[in-house]
A and B are shown apart, each in its own frame.
Chain A
């Protein structure tokens, strides 16, 4: 098959699929309730005992107090990703907080948090 034709088919096909998915609402981030977050945390870390869950006001992230450590669960497209907050950096941004995990496969996440919520979360994230 000529390379030019293959390239046109691949670029055209990928663009078409992405456009259709976006236009039909498949780009929405999952929305979390406290119970959703608790279930999702157990899905990621079945050995953990979940002690407390605090969902962000925009409902795209949750701070989870567990038997191991404080953890963060966040919307990842239609699904979630979770990490214990053990080796990370946190910094304030215009809209909330940015966490860096020193992990090539999960480099970080930006959280949208209102100022009072931001201060509370940052305190909980960094307190021993």
Chain B
């Protein structure tokens, strides 16, 4: 269809910058005595998860690549490689990221891959690198299919996706408070993403944006970080391991154990895989909606405030 197109793998080229920035953030926190926390094993786990994610991409990347090249062969469209095509692809891919990320929090099968990114109780630049090893198994590559079918070359689609991930590195910090108002209004920032990493009921299932926060504002999932509700990082039920293998696979194991319980209907087994995290056939667990409702029952004064605008009643 056209000459071979190749772009640099920006996530690999960013590795030296990632390491330098982590050291700079740590030194800044140590000198200032504020702006975040570091813990050796937590950081080491995050960094190993990052390295494993790169390795996983090298080993399994051919699956998504093969899928995209198949689509590229069948599409009659070619948007080319002009700067406008790259910019359009970047913006559309960020919309793609928003939805994949939203599925990642609302569909347990996808959450099983993404959960490790939220499994640290810390929030610093190493947390940004606590990435999945199992993304290929979520099949979320299909959400990128429309971009290829629209005529964006697979190499370009992966290139802008890499830039998207590199952008998100710097927002995993407590060392930066708020950016200028215009920037906070348009872009994903440390403040917006801190809220996303919160396990507080207010911040559950909010701020899925990658680069542009406007998607959350358009689709009704934006919750601004609140000064009176300090973000508590981690999972609703925090895991008790620094072992990268357990971090990477614990939710997958949970899914298969839940699905294998005796006495369940086929529908219940399927729901354990695809329903929102917290689903249980007997109501013994809480979804994010139920956690928010219970919080409002304990704290009715929060009703109507950011993150609790949708009426929710404890039942």
**A-to-B contact residues, CB < 8 Å:** 1, 3, 6, 9-10, 13-14, 16-18, 20-22, 24, 26-27, 43-44, 46-47, 74, 76-79, 81-83, 101, 104-107, 109
> Would you give the shortest CB distance from B69 to chain A, in whole angstroms?
22
Q: Tell whether A107 pairs with B241 under 8 Å between CB atoms, given A21-B38, A21-B43, A26-B38.
A: yes
Please, how many angstroms separate the alpha-carbon atoms of A98 and B93 in the complex?
48
Residues of chain A lying within 8 A (CB to CB) of residue B247: 105
Interface size on B, residues (CB 8 A): 46
Bound complex: CA of A81 vs CA of B251, how far in Å?
A: 17
Q: List 30 A-B contacts (CB under 8 A).
A: A1-B12, A6-B12, A13-B15, A14-B44, A14-B48, A17-B23, A17-B126, A18-B40, A18-B43, A20-B23, A21-B38, A21-B39, A21-B40, A21-B43, A22-B40, A26-B38, A26-B40, A43-B232, A46-B295, A77-B40, A77-B41, A79-B122, A79-B238, A101-B240, A104-B250, A104-B254, A105-B239, A105-B240, A105-B251, A106-B241
Interface of B is mostly: helix
Q: Are A77 and B242 in contact (CB under 8 A)?
A: yes
Residues in B lying within 8 Å of A, measured CB to CB: 9, 12-13, 15-16, 18-19, 22-23, 26, 30, 37-44, 47-48, 51, 54, 58, 121-122, 126, 232, 234, 237-242, 246-247, 249-251, 253-254, 257, 294-295, 298
How far, in Å, is A19 (CB) from chain B's closest CB?
Answer: 9
List the A side residues contacting B40 at CB < 8 Å.
18, 21-22, 26-27, 77
Q: How many whole Å from B78's CB to the nearest CB in chain A?
A: 28
Contacts of A1 in B (CB 8 A): 9, 12-13
Residue of B nearest to A30 (CB): B39
Chain B residues in 8 Å Cβ range of A24: 30
CA distance A1 to B254 in the complex (A): 37
- Within the complex, what minimum Cβ distance (angstroms) separates B120 from chain A? 9
Residues on B with beta carbons closer than 8 Å to the beta carbon of A3: 58
Contact residues in A for B30 (Cβ distance below 8 Å): 24
Taking the closest CB of chain B, its distance from the CB of A77, in whole angstroms, is: 4
In the assembled complex, the Cα of A76 lies from the Cα of B122 at a distance in Å of 12
Residues of chain A within 8 A (CB-CB) of B44 are 14, 17-18, 21
| Residues of B close to A6: CB separation below 8 A | 12, 15, 54
Query: Cβ of A105 and Cβ of B19 under 8 Å apart?
Result: no
Contact between chains at A105 and B250 (CB < 8 Å): yes
State the CA gap A79–B13 with chains docked (Å). 33
Q: Give the most central of A20, A77, A78: most B CB within 10 Å.
A: A77
Assuming the contacts A10-B51, A21-B26, asked whether A79 and B240 have C-beta atoms less than 8 A apart, the reply is no
The residues of B that contact A9 with a CB separation of less than 8 Å are: 15-16, 19
Complex CA–CA separation, A21 to B23 (angstroms): 10
Contacts of B58 in A (CB 8 A): 3
Also in contact, A81 and B239, with CB within 8 A (given A10-B54, A104-B246): yes
Which residues from chain B contact A43 at a C-beta distance below 8 Å?
Answer: 232
A44 interface neighbour in B12, B238, B241, Cβ under 8 Å: B238
A106 touches which one: B13, B38, B122, B240 (CB < 8 A)? B240
